[in-house]
Structures are given as C-alpha cells and as structure tokens.
C-alpha cells in the first residue's frame, strides 16, 4: 500500500508541479490519501515503523502541495500547519471512533457484544479493555476502539447524531490508545 501511494505521489510530483496549491491538494486527496486510508478502521497499524511509513507519505505530500521542499528542522510541521492537515494517525483514530459510534447506535449491522461495559469506572459509558497476550487481538478493532472510546469526553459520547458526533470529534486531539494507562 505504501509503495502504491508513493508511486502515485511520484506521478503527481512529476506531472503537477506547476499547478496551483489547491489543485495539488485536490489531487492528493483524490488519488493518494484514499490509498492509505481505505478500510483503515480494520487494519490500523500499531507498529511504530508502519505508522512512520504512512506519516512520511503525508509529509512528502505536504512538501509537494506547499512547494516547500527544504529539509530543515520544523519545516514539516510548518507545512502541515499551513495546510491544516492532521496526522494520518489522528484521522485513523477518528474514523475508528466514528465507526464505533455507528455500531453502538445500530446505524451499521455489526454486533457489539464484544464490548463489555465497565460499571466500576468513574466515567460513565466506558468499556473494559480486554486482556490478551496476542498483539493481533489486542490491537484489533473492538479492543482498540474501546480504548479510544474510553479516552474521549463524555459529552462527545452522548452526541445525539452522527453528524454532531463527527463535528465535535473534529475539534479534539485524541491520545494514542495503545499506550497502557
């Protein structure tokens, strides 16, 4: 997937380098970002090396779109702030939370009996993180989405509709759910 995304980004860099910033950005959103985000709720990587590979694609695209190719300290952050792009990991976290919201509200026909409510928690509407010695299970959708869900504010969890939930979700930064608390 990273290879295909880099290949497509190289194509854009070769053929659209003289285009306005908005055109470059639209090309990236249309042709590259879907490659690195398709079905990300299911395959969201937890390995730092894989996360870094995906973020490098996003950083490279930001350099392409802004035309700021200087490789100086802090330049990548400046490009991302100029464009208003969040890290891809944040986008994956938010996609996973949106999917869990749909599942909880029965907007999607996926059973959610995998999530066990934590009645002993101080925060209402939290889930018990499962114990697992297998990373494939520990970082799969329901356990990781449950940890993400536990980290968001209560007013976000009680949003009356999906649109309101997504709007509120866009305003926050989500901490990494894979770090043990």
> 35: helix, coil or strand?
helix
What whole-number distance in Å separates Cα of residue 42 and Cα of residue 96? 8
What is the token pair recorded at 144? 């990781």
What is the token pair recorded at 118? 């934590």
What is the token pair recorded at 159? 């949003």
As a dihedral over the C-alpha atoms of residue 58, residue 64, residue 67, residue 72, rounded to 10 degrees, the angle is 50
What whole-number distance in Å separates Cα of residue 62 and Cα of residue 106? 37
pLDDT of residue 138: 83
DSSP tag of 47: S
Contact between residue 130 and residue 63 where contact means Cβ atoms under 8 Å apart: no
pLDDT of residue 17: 92
Boundaries of every domain in the chain: 2-85, 90-170
What's the pLDDT tens digit per position in 92-138? 999 999 999 999 898 998 887 766 666 555 566 777 777 778 888 88
Contact between residue 28 and residue 65 where contact means Cβ atoms under 8 Å apart: yes
What whole-number distance in Å separates Cα of residue 41 and Cα of residue 98? 9
Helix 88-104 / helix 162-170 crossing angle, nearest 10 deg: 160
Contact between residue 165 and residue 156 where contact means Cβ atoms under 8 Å apart: yes
Residue with the larger pLDDT of the pair 70 and 103: 103
Contact between residue 149 and residue 126 where contact means Cβ atoms under 8 Å apart: yes
pLDDT of residue 3: 96
**Cβ neighbour number for residue 120 with a 10 Å cutoff:** 7
pLDDT of residue 181: 44
As a dihedral over the C-alpha atoms of residue 113, residue 118, residue 124, residue 125, rounded to 10 degrees, the angle is -20
pLDDT of residue 117: 67
- 177: burial class by Cβ within 10 Å (0-12, 13-18, 19+)? buried
Residue with the larger pLDDT of the pair 122 and 56: 56
Predicted TM-score (pTM) of the model is: 0.87
């Amino acid at each position: 997937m990273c290879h295909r995304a880099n290949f497509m980004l190289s194509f854009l860099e070769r053929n659209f380098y003289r285009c306005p910033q908005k055109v470059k950005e639209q090309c990236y959103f249309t042709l590259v970002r879907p490659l690195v985000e398709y079905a990300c709720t299911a395959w969201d990587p937890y390995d730092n090396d894989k996360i870094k590979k995906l973020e490098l694609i996003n950083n490279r695209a930001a350099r392409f779109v802004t035309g700021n190719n200087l490789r100086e300290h802090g330049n990548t952050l400046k490009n991302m702030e100029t464009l208003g792009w969040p890290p891809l990991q944040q986008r994956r976290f938010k996609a996973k939370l949106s999917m869990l919201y749909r599942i909880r509200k029965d907007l999607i026909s996926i059973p959610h009996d995998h999530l066990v409510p934590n009645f002993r928690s101080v925060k209402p509407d939290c889930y018990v993180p499962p114990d697992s010695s297998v990373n494939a299970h520990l970082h799969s959708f329901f356990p990781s989405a449950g940890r993400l869900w536990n980290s968001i504010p209560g007013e976000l969890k009680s949003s009356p509709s999906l649109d309101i939930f997504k709007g509120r979700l866009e305003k926050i930064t989500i901490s990494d759910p894979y770090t043990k608390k």
